[in-house]
Amino acid sequence: MTVTTRFAPSPTGTLHVGNIRTALHNWMFAKRHGGRFLLRIDDTDGERSEERFVAAIRADLAWLGLHPDGEERQSARFDRYEARLAELAAAGRVYPAYETAQELELKRKVLLGRGLPPVYDRAALALSDADKAKLEAEGVRPHWRFKLDHDAMIEWDDMVRGPQRFDPKTMSDPVVRRADGSWLYLLPSVIDDIDMGISHVVRGEDHVSNTATQLQMFAALGAEPPRFAHEALLTGSEGKLSKRLGSLGLDHFRGAGIESQALRALLARLGTSDPVEPFVDSAPLVESFDFARFGRAPARFDEDELAQLNARIVHQFGYAAVRDRLPAGMTEAGWNAIRPNLSTIAEAADWWQVVEGPVHAEIAEEDRAFLAQAAGIAAGLDWADPWPALTGALKEATGRKGRALFLPLRLALTGREHGPDMAALLPLIGKDAALERLRGT
């Protein structure tokens, strides 16, 4: 069997961090087993689906390095859904129901008021052909429900949650098609999974009850179901489910200077027993991916942790990998000098401005003579390795050491109290510019 997974977003908006994690885990599991990762655009909702979101989904996956091995569009498969619905109708596994939304809500309230679960009473099954004809003659269009088999307990071994068991008697027959002819998620997804040869379905734990229903749909359509992995949902850093996570898309992360490798490294292991590590290459993440390592507790997504991971990723980038994203004129030596101080690549522009100048420094009165002396010494250096030569000569000439020696020099030369190693930075600033800054001119 070829392992085949799918990521199935609806193009009604952009991907958020929970979607991204699902896509990543589907991709990783398929690659771990030498299989295929497919993209399915669930665009059955014609009113809310937009092509700009389809394009955004493709672009986001590409930015993350998740390249699908194939793509399907549900909107191109309506004829297939019609044909399979007809098969189920002929077999008595789907049936028309004529209650309005208001009537169904009233039934629900009555049951809840009696302390009973709001399970659909299957009243539509008692309608005669004459009853149906009369309703349709009155302009009432039916919606369609899948008839659950109440005699078969629903069971499966979930790759994350372990053994699962549902009693279909406690579940409503799900609506699979609305009265206006539009499709709901459950049945088209099953039909697609069969036709696409999906072997494993990886999704959030909020779909567990959907899986119980869909397993009977697979059986009714004569197909072997895929294996399922239902992952714990993400929580925010405050430790509870966060609505904000639902709005954090890739534009947010890109705008914050987050690298795709950092986001991938964090989400790959979030919720597992494995440590989060700053892997630039996805191969080690793929090789270690195993649903047995996932826990059932909610997975905590922390943007501060992501930022720290991002810095560790940036520190690994060679010049060739970032050259096109650096400020004009920045050399490999400049990148190597500045890189250890960066949290994002965008910050390189700030440090390169320090190199190119001008800089402004607030110099204490007691340090002015010291800096003038430093300028005199610097003027006589050959500038091959100026920082140790300059500080060594100043220490001997003035007796200064430690902070008193180094801080005034750094302030005058960079305008900042902290920053990259001055031994690497000073040659980039250059002798003439360094002398001007030490002299305060």
Spatial CB neighbours of 372, under 8 Å, sequence gap ≥ 6: 438, 439
For residue 242, the model assigns a pLDDT of 59
Which pair of structure tokens corresponds to residue 291? 């649903």
Tokens representing residue 233 in the block:
């949902």
The span from the CA of 192 to the CA of 61, in Å, is 21
DSSP letter, residue 16: B
Q: Give the alpha-carbon dihedral of 409, 413, 417, 419, to 10 degrees.
A: -120
Per-residue pLDDT of the chain (441 residues; tens, 9 = 90+): 899 999 999 999 999 999 999 999 999 999 999 999 999 999 998 889 999 999 999 999 999 999 999 999 999 999 999 999 999 999 999 999 999 999 999 999 999 999 999 999 999 999 999 999 999 999 999 999 999 999 989 999 999 999 999 999 999 999 999 999 999 999 999 999 999 999 999 999 999 999 999 999 999 999 999 999 999 988 887 665 556 676 788 999 999 999 999 999 999 999 998 999 999 999 999 999 999 999 999 888 999 999 999 999 999 999 999 999 999 999 999 999 999 999 999 999 999 999 999 999 899 999 999 999 999 999 999 998 999 999 999 999 999 999 999 999 999 999 999 999 999 999 999 999 999 999 986
Q: What are phi and psi of 77, to 5 degrees?
A: -120, 15
- Taking a C-beta distance cutoff of 8 angstroms, is the pair 217, 225 a contact? no
Instruction: State the angle between helix axes of 386-398 and 365-379 in degrees (0 to 180), rounded to the nearest 10.
Output: 120
Question: Rounded to whole angstroms, how far apart are CA atoms 422 and 418?
Answer: 10
DSSP line for 51-97: HHHHHHHHHHHHHHT---SEEEEGGG-HHHHHHHHHHHHHTTSEEEE
Helical H runs in 240-362?
250-255, 260-269, 283-287, 303-314, 319-322, 332-338, 348-356
Question: Measured between alpha carbons, how far is 232 from 204 in angstroms, rounded to an integer?
Answer: 6
243 assigned ligand-binding residue: yes
Please list the alpha-helical segments (H only) found in 184-302.
186-195, 208-220, 250-255, 260-269, 283-287
Is 437:412 a contact under the CB 8 Å cutoff?
yes
Domains of the chain, first to last? 4-72+187-233 (3.40.50.620), 79-177 (3.90.800.10), 319-356 (no CATH), 365-439 (1.10.10.350)
Determine contact, residues 351/338, Cβ cutoff 8 Å. Answer: yes
And the tokens for 386? 């100026």
Single pTM value for the model: 0.91
Task: Kindly report the length of the chain.
Answer: 441
Separation in Å, CA 67 to CA 15, 64, 284, 357: 15, 8, 18, 43
Q: What are phi and psi of 97, to 5 degrees?
A: -130, 145
The torsion angles phi and psi of 289, rounded to 5 degrees, stand at: -70, 125
Q: At what angle do helices 348-356 and 422-429 cross, to 10 degrees?
A: 60
**Three-class secondary structure of residue 204 per DSSP:** strand
